[in-house]
Structure 1
Amino acid sequence: MSMRTSAAYLTRHLPLRSTLRPVPSLLGPHGLQRSSMATVAPPVTQNSVDKKGPTAIVFLNMGGPSSTAEVGDFLSRLFADGDLIPLGRLQSYLGPLISRRRTPKIQQQYAEIGGGSPIRKWSEYQCTETCKILDKISPETAPHRPYVAFRYADPLTEQMYEQLLKDGFGGGNGGRAVAFTQYPQYSCSTTGSSLNELWKWRNRLENKRVPGESSPNGAITWSVIDRWPTHPGLIEAFARNIEDKLAEYPEERKKDVVLLFSAHSLPMSVVNRGDPYPAEVAATVYAVMQRLKFSNPYRLCWQSQVGPSAWLGAQTSDTVRSYVERGQTDLILVPIAFTSDHIETLYELDKEVMHEDAKGHPGVKRAESLNGNETFIQALADIAHAHLQSGQSCSPQMGLRCQGCKSERCLEQKKFFAGEQAQILPTVR
């Protein structure tokens, strides 16, 4: 996207100053309460004279336990996922072992941030608000119905899919659904894993009915928004949050504040396979710094390493500790790959990095997460609108496999979602 196009987007769509819209509290005395996954709706009536709706907008994310009681199941699913944490042939043995050992510690961490993760609250809010905007700017595909599908916590992908069927999508009724990843930067470990799971449950719940048939009659028609690392609305939302935090420093120190962009790390085995995530995260960082006119020194670092194997670095915690020890104590941490608060921001960055690694120095701060940011939610709606108008099943990038990919599941998933756009390469033996 050119600078002129980016400027035109900002002029048309973005308010003069982004604010946090009040969100009805879902917090109870024991943490986050569950809210319904989607409003029960009448059956789908598709393809009326001048409309293409209703359209299901499905936000994909990793999710998080809404209470400490859900931590064990959450970790069990997470460590069983070889796309996210590859443990090789011993995955079925090591995964449960690691999750059981880590559960008490992780339960305590969630207890310290309020008893559960806020990611479900924010995901449901963001998706609902996106659909409200879409109803206005894309009436031909309205009504737009919000759904959330988490990979490791409720509502799980199979729960979301069953809800779609109950609401009249698929099962002979047809209907359109858009799988909208909430990881702006694509990785086989995150978006790829979520799409593998969606593909699996689509096959189980809407099986082929005739040998050789690509899709049963009346099944859901799926398309995918698989990445959006440099969308101007996303970049503007990040930049404004950074500017708000920079304003808290004295004027004479402001230009020397170091911006530390932090993203979830990946095992080097995944990186070396050709995963596009590191490059796309770097693209987001560079676009944000362009928007800020490179006003400050900056670095990209990585957090949340798990296990003894090599992971992408430098680690955020090590970086902060090193800079503080050298006397650089004005730092802003920017969670650049997360679209809302969760354990990695509220505990890992706020409690561990800022208070332990930075020794509680007041010059070390964190930029706000996107959460209910109006600029960000408008960007989500614009991304979805452009996708609905494009007629594409996914981006051209998604149809190309990683250079070292050996996953048959990934191959079949791409064949399904990318369709004619897929550049299918045979599996490496």
Structure 2
Amino acid sequence: MLNMGGPSDLEEVHPFLRNLFLDRDLMRLPLQPILAPLIARRRSPSIVEQYAKIGGGSPILKHTIAQGEMMCKLLDEMRPESAPHKAYPAFRYARPLVRPVMQRLKEDGVKRAIAFSQYPQYSCSTTGSSLNEVFRSCGIDRDAGDVDWSVVDRWGTHPGLVEAFAQLIQTTLNEHWPDPVERQSAVILFSAHSLPMKVVNRGDPYVAEVAGSVSAVMQRLGVMAANGEGSASVTELNAAHSGSNTTSPTASKNPIPGPNPYRLVWQSQVGPQPWMGPQTGDCIKGLAKLGYKNAVLVPIAFTSDHIETLYECDVEYGHVAKEAGINMARVPALNEHPVFVRALADIVAHHLDAGERVSTQMMLRCPGCVNETCGKQKEWFSRGGRSATV
């Protein structure tokens, strides 16, 4: 289960940032081995403060472990012929790092593995970087032994993912705005981590894929409204969570009137270079100037709570909304939502049934690609992790 990870405590903040700024799949800096630790040290104090305000560390490992255990329990029931299934969280910048996890695969005698990106929408900066690290760990150094590899690289419009987001959005709307008129006036802001425009302009598919997720969720909300489908309360979601075979929580009788106005916005811009916009904070201020009073913030590109949701969305944007006079509610992250976990299991089961090593879309490099490792990595995975030319 590939993801960027996050520091589990305050002492891990600096190593996390150092690993991030050293990643040449993510960014190219002059004298990067020298500059990266210096930049990480300079930024660490402010980031430590942010993590301190959300409990002292990122909960992403806790959620990933729980998601993996629940997913594998479902997979053992759905696909006994490939059981037992085991999930290995493998993070790019924090423990458990990819390379030690690859060594664990070897020690555990694993012969069949799926590199399952936990980023629903593909970007060379996220999924691509993680896959490159798996390739460097196994394709070049062969740390993981003789493993038959395949990849799940993107799943931003999977029906289960869409359903989970739609249910959480509808629940949030119903609970925060009991009055139908106010509820209908709330603007849905789908917020995703931004990308530098130089990455977008070389052909990275992330922006288009996030937009596809947003479109699919809004279509589902429209169908739910047309059919008079209600949304589950928090209590009902928790009750549904207790049943491993539950695919949909019990519906309440408080449906929203219809699809709300919405926008796709972008967060987490760093540095002076141009990034994909509009920025989330600027949009909240802009809505207030246009006379809107209610907004719903949806972390559409995040599957677990971490600093981008718990600090950036809740603290920073919560303050911006309060200052602007906007009544804003943040939709919970997917975390261990039962519909979402079922989606993870469905994705893996379908992948195994299809016998596909890589997707057609994964094999297409960005037209402006400047990273030769990407091409080698894709070829390596397409051969099941064998006979890579390095």
- Residue of structure 2 in register with 1:414 after alignment: 378
Amino acid corresponding to residue 115 of structure 2 in structure 1: A
For normalisation by structure 2, the TM-score amounts to 0.86
Amino acid corresponding to residue 104 of structure 2 in structure 1: Q
- Residue of structure 2 in register with 1:280 after alignment: 209
CA apart distance, 1:141: 0.8
- Residue of structure 2 in register with 1:73 after alignment: 15
CA apart distance, 1:82: 2.5
Alignment partners' CA distance in 1, 2:212 and 2:367: 20
- For structure 1, the 5+ residue unaligned runs are 1-58, 170-174, 208-215, 421-429
CA apart distance, 1:93: 3.8
Alignment partners' CA distance in 2, 1:265 and 1:378: 28
| Runs of 4+ in structure 1 over 4 Å off | none
2:287 to 296, 299, 323: 323
Amino acid corresponding to residue 382 of structure 1 in structure 2: D
- Would the aligned equivalents of 2:50 and 2:311 in 1 still touch at CA under 8 Å? yes
Decide whether aligned partners of structure 1 residues 362 and 315 sit closer, same or farther in structure 2, where only a CA change above 3 A counts.
closer
Residue 367 (structure 1) aligned with residue 310 (structure 2): no
CA apart distance, 1:205: 4.5
Amino acid corresponding to residue 258 of structure 1 in structure 2: V
Alignment partners' CA distance in 1, 2:290 and 2:119: 34
Alignment partners' CA distance in 2, 1:206 and 1:409: 16
Residue 193 (structure 1) aligned with residue 125 (structure 2): no
- Would the aligned equivalents of 1:324 and 1:358 in 2 still touch at CA under 8 Å? no
Amino acid corresponding to residue 281 of structure 1 in structure 2: V
Residue 261 (structure 1) aligned with residue 190 (structure 2): yes
CA apart distance, 1:223: 0.4
For normalisation by structure 1, the TM-score amounts to 0.78
CA apart distance, 1:164: 1.0
Alignment partners' CA distance in 1, 2:319 and 2:291: 16
2:199 to 261, 270, 286: 270
1:144 is paired with a residue whose SS is coil
Amino acid corresponding to residue 165 of structure 1 in structure 2: K
Residue 120 (structure 1) aligned with residue 84 (structure 2): no
Alignment partners' CA distance in 2, 1:251 and 1:226: 40
The count of aligned residue pairs is 348
- For structure 2, the 5+ residue unaligned runs are 223-257, 385-390
CA RMSD in angstroms, aligned pairs only: 1.7
Residue 334 (structure 1) aligned with residue 298 (structure 2): yes
Alignment partners' CA distance in 1, 2:263 and 2:36: 33
CA apart distance, 1:165: 1.3
CA apart distance, 1:360: 7.6
* Aligned positions of 1:44-193 closer than 5 A: 59-84=1-26, 86-169=27-110, 175-193=111-129
1:245-273 alpha-carbon deviations (Å, 9 max, x no partner): 11021222111110000000001110001
Identity value in percent:
54
CA apart distance, 1:358: 3.8
CA apart distance, 1:128: 1.0
CA apart distance, 1:362: 6.5
1:56-78 alpha-carbon deviations (Å, 9 max, x no partner): xxx00000000000000000011
Which has more helix, going by share of residues? Answer: 2
- Residue of structure 2 in register with 1:41 after alignment: none
Amino acid corresponding to residue 20 of structure 2 in structure 1: L
Alignment partners' CA distance in 1, 2:142 and 2:36: 30
- Would the aligned equivalents of 2:292 and 2:326 in 1 still touch at CA under 8 Å? no
